[in-house]
Amino acid sequence: MTRRSLSRRLTAILLVLALAIALVPAALAAASCPQCGGEVQCTDNGDGRTHTLYCPADGYTNRTAAHTFASGRCTACGAMDYSQVRITLPTDVSLTAALRDSDAAVSLEGVSLTLGTEDVTGEYTLSYSWYYNGNPVGTGQRCALPASVIGKEGDYDFVCFVTAVPGNALAGKTISASCTVKVHVQDLLSVTAVVGSRDLYLGLGDSTGRTPVSVADQITRAVAAKGGTAAYVVFDEKPVSKAGDLKFAVGERYQLSGSEGTALSSVRFEPSAAGTYAIGFTAYDQEGKAYPGLLTIAVEQALGSVDVLYVTEKGSAITLEASDFQAFWQETYPQGQLTLIRFTALPASSSGTLYRGYASAARPGTAVKAGESYYVAAGDHFLLQDVAFVPASRYTGPVSIPFEAYGSDGSGNQTYRSGRIFLFVNPTKVAAVTCSAPESGSAVLSASGFRSVYSAVTGSQDSGFYIRFLEVPASGSLYSDSGATRLTDASINDKVFSYSAIGTLRYTAGTAQEESVRYAVYSSAGEPLYVGTLTFSVRAGEKNPYTDVKSTDWFYPYVIALTESGVIGGNTATTYGPRNAVTWGEALKMVLLAAGYDVQPSDGSHWASGYLSLALSEGILKESVSLRENITRSELAELAAAALKLTLSTDLKEAPFQDVSLTDEAAPAIAALKEAGIVGGTTLSDGQVVYRPAESLLRSEIAAIIWRIQQAKEG
């Protein structure tokens, strides 16, 4: 090596060292002990003004050393200079919503807080307050649009006030700002999908647990409901969204009818973060007619694996239980013994803190450090049972804490297993949803029960939410698809249930007299709202009076529950007649009783004549009917909608089912019952959902409808 090359190499090394020194944050600058000159350890006191100095060499301690800030951080301990934090809101925000879309909402993404060039958004809890025409209309990052807005085409301005509260409320000040979000409401084809933030992609031709009807099929059906045969789709310009990216070419025709060219089903959406991705499109039918639409893809926030689950409410600490971690260990090592838990990462301070020896807010104990070991059995070490999670005072939502578990496998070998604690901080106390099943029988879950709890927690009266079970019953069994599919620990992660699908869930009793499972509730945009409890109980001694109704029949729980309440009776003392057609007289009695009307004695030659008189006097029926004739499914829809006093659309834009025309007289009533979750139709092998409006109604079918009417009335 020559002297010149050596000189150049030394110069390069010195430059690198100088650059490295320049890049070391001020927070890492070493402080010296005033007594011995040794290096001291600095710990922020959390008051925004001071930190503690400690010298391990001679024990020197100064608990009131003042912060010295540079570039927004204390040069000794790294504490934030909260006075230098700035909040930035997006500008020129505009959204498009489909006319009469009850799930339409206004949202705000991209709020950030910075300390110089450092993003410190994670150190704050954000709250959103929405106003329209000067009046408050909702809170949260996503706010449902008022009925007055989605009911009329036009442009509307919403103002959002964002408040940022620091995780360390003692040291930092609350920051707030506001911006205007413009909403354009238009008569559009409304198409939706849900995908997980950890999924690789969602194909627009894919049907999944989150998106039971593919985007391609939704567009095809929406065009058919307007009288056309869909041919292809052209997308608008790509929006800017952190939620993900739709992989398509602007201006290209994506085929729906099997013609030459790129099929819409081949287009993929790749999620990147929780949020909502909305893009406009135009669908064309085979005659060239255009149908503008809006595709909204909700990217569901990943909750992480639920190895150990805890639920608390805002401001309430929760203590970790060693038995929960032992159960986690024994899932893999049934004969093994758990020794200790080590937290590999800690939650963000804006969400909460793990403490050892927590007693109260005044006596929080000592903050847990990453990598510390906490043992199950007593000894000269930290105990797991002494650890508590204390949420930040304003925080609500999910918290995920990874850990490593160490112990024996039951065969004399020492091993370890990694896991994750899932904590959810509810915004308020959440009442349990209850379900009571007969001994050795089954019961259907009440959608109205879930909706009542949802309304109490969120303050919203809509049904734009879905649920995901976090566990399955230990004794009994939970089935979906009206009893066709049993939910297991392995399958629940792929299953979500909208409000209208909850009524298809059935619980079959086991040996336990009472048990419970927990479930997570999401907004239609995929945002987790709260975690609730579903409690099952078993009624002993209940008898099935019908020889033609088996406990394995899909309609069994409806028939038994309605028989108990007196709404339904058998054809004879021992038979129900599930395959018999329903007469007008039977339908009038069942619908009116389920809707809350009193029992009516006969006032004529037919046993149901009193119910007919009541229906005519209340305006439920406009003219008399023959009580002995069979009632059709469309006639039943009109009767039920009138008895429940449902609001019927006078300008229906989309048929509720593939075999119900917009011109059908009963279409508004059928649509209203579908919206209320009372009817769901039948899914054919080709994916079409039909109602069969002209067919007679069977007694097995009306049992399910009447049960849902009763639930809707009670809810």
Closest-CA residue to 202 (of 526, 501, 491, 435): 526
Interatomic CA distance for residues 304 and 401, integer angstroms: 9
Q: What pLDDT does residue 714 have?
A: 65
* DSSP code for 370: T
Averaged over successive runs of 10 residues, the pLDDT of the chain (715 residues) comes to 42 40 43 86 84 88 90 87 92 86 82 90 86 89 85 92 82 88 91 87 88 89 88 92 92 86 93 87 94 91 77 94 94 93 88 91 88 90 94 86 93 91 92 87 84 88 83 90 78 80 85 92 83 90 81 84 83 89 93 90 88 93 92 94 88 82 89 85 76 91 88 69
Interatomic CA distance for residues 305 and 302, integer angstroms: 9
* DSSP code for 124: E
Closest-CA residue to 106 (of 135, 59, 139, 75): 139
Type of residue numbered 310? Y
376's tokens: 């199950």
- SS3 category, 86: strand
Interatomic CA distance for residues 603 and 376, integer angstroms: 74
Q: What pLDDT does residue 91 have?
A: 87
64-118 confidence digits (pLDDT tens): 999 999 888 888 888 889 889 999 999 888 888 888 777 788 888 889 999 988 8
Interatomic CA distance for residues 25 and 75, integer angstroms: 8
635's tokens: 């006639």
**Which pTM value belongs to this model?**
0.64
Interatomic CA distance for residues 157 and 234, integer angstroms: 28
463's tokens: 């049904």
Distance of alpha carbon 655 from its chain centroid, rounded?
A: 27
Let me know: does 697 contact 587? Beta carbons within 8 Å: yes
Q: What pLDDT does residue 31 have?
A: 76
In the chain, what is the greatest distance between 2 CA atoms, to the nearest angstrom?
A: 121
Interatomic CA distance for residues 126 and 138, integer angstroms: 15
Q: What pLDDT does residue 283 have?
A: 95
Q: Could you count the other beta carbons within 10 Å of the beta carbon of residue 280?
A: 17
Interatomic CA distance for residues 637 and 400, integer angstroms: 47
- Print burial letters for 426-443: b (CB count within 10 Å at least 16), e (below 16): bbeebeebebebbeebbb
| Locus of tokens 């500008």 | 91
Let me know: does 303 contact 422? Beta carbons within 8 Å: yes
Which phi and psi angles does 175 have, rounded to 5°?
Answer: -115, 140
Report CA torsion sign: 457, 458, 459, 462: negative
